[in-house]
Structure 1
Amino acid sequence: MMNFFGTQWRIEYRADMRLADSPLISLGVLYEAAWPAHEARWLGLAFRRDLYPLETDCINYDTWPELKEPEVFMRRLFDQCWQAGEKTELGTDVIAESYPAYSAMHFTRERASVDVSSFDPHNTFLHLTEYLSELKLTLKPTLSAPVYPFAARPGRKDEVLSPVGEEMRSRAA
C-alpha cells in the first residue's frame, strides 16, 4: 500500500476552441492528498468568485450555464470530488476525467510544489491550507479593460493627475 499520493489540478475555460491563442480563463485550483495508511484525506479548492465582464463575454452560457454562477458551480464541484474519492483513488482524478482537454472547460494537471509525503495530523493540514492560499494568488483575471495613465500637464514632469470625485486634482509624483 502506498504511503501518500496527491494531485493538483487547475480548472480553466478556453474561450474559443478553434483558436490556439484563445484566452484561457483561470477559474480555480484543486489539490487533493491521501494517506491510506493513516486513513486520512485532504481536499482543497481555491477559486475566483467573480469573473470580469470581458471574461464573461467570452463564455458560451448555452454550453456552460453553470458558469453563470461560478461560486455555486465550484462548491458543487468540490462536493463531487469529495464524494468520488476512495481509499485507493482521488476524487479529483475521477472528476477531472469528466472535463477532458478537448472541452472548453477542462482540468489541467499541475506539478505541486508542496511536500506532504510524511503525515502529521496537525501540521500537514495546516501546511496544505497555507499552500492553497498561495495558489489562490495565482488565479488572476485573463481579460480586463485597458488601463491608461493620466498624462502630466505640459512642462510639469513631476506631476501626475489622479481622478477624485467629479474633479481632477493634481499631486506630486
Structure 2
Amino acid sequence: MLINLRVWLKIPDAEAATVKNTLVRRLSYGKVLEDVKKERLISIQVDSGDPEELARAFARELVNENKESHKILIDRLEFEEGYVPVKVALHIEDGEAIAIRDRLRKRLGYQNVVDVKKATVWKLYFRLLRPEAEITAREIAEKLLINPHKDSYEIML
C-alpha cells in the first residue's frame, strides 16, 4: 500500500512567493501566471497494517499542525482542479527521505514501512487553458524549478 501525505503551509510561504516573483518579474510570465503555491509530498510504502490508522500516525509525526495542513491519499494521488501540479523529486539518493524512513522504522517501530519518497509539488495557477498551461508549466519547470543534474519533474494532470 502507498500512503501519500500532501502537506502545505497555513502561513505565507516565502519560497513560493519568491518563485512567483522571479517568474513574473524576471522571466516575464506575468501575463499568463496568476499564482504559485507549494506543498510537500511524502509517499510511504507499507507492506501491512491498517492504512487509515497508519496514515493518521504518520501525519501526527511528520506534520506540524501549528503551521501546516495536510491531506492523506491511500493508493492514489490526485490534485484539485484550477492549477497545474508539477512534481519535482530527486533522481539521486534522497537523504531526507531515507531519514524519514529510518525514523519511522527504527525510532518509532513501524517495521512495515518499506520505503519513503519525498517530492515538492509546485502548484502553478495560470490564466491559460489546459494545453497551453501544460506547455508553459514544462517551460517553467525546466527554467527554474529543477536542477537537471539532480532533479526530475512530472506534470501531474
**If the length of structure 2 is used for normalisation, what is the TM-score?**
0.27
Which one has the largest radius of gyration? 1
Tell me: higher relative CO, structure 1 or 2? Use CA pairs within 8 A at least 6 residues apart: 2
Q: Which is richer in strand?
A: 2
**If the length of structure 1 is used for normalisation, what is the TM-score?**
0.25
Q: Which is richer in helix?
A: 2
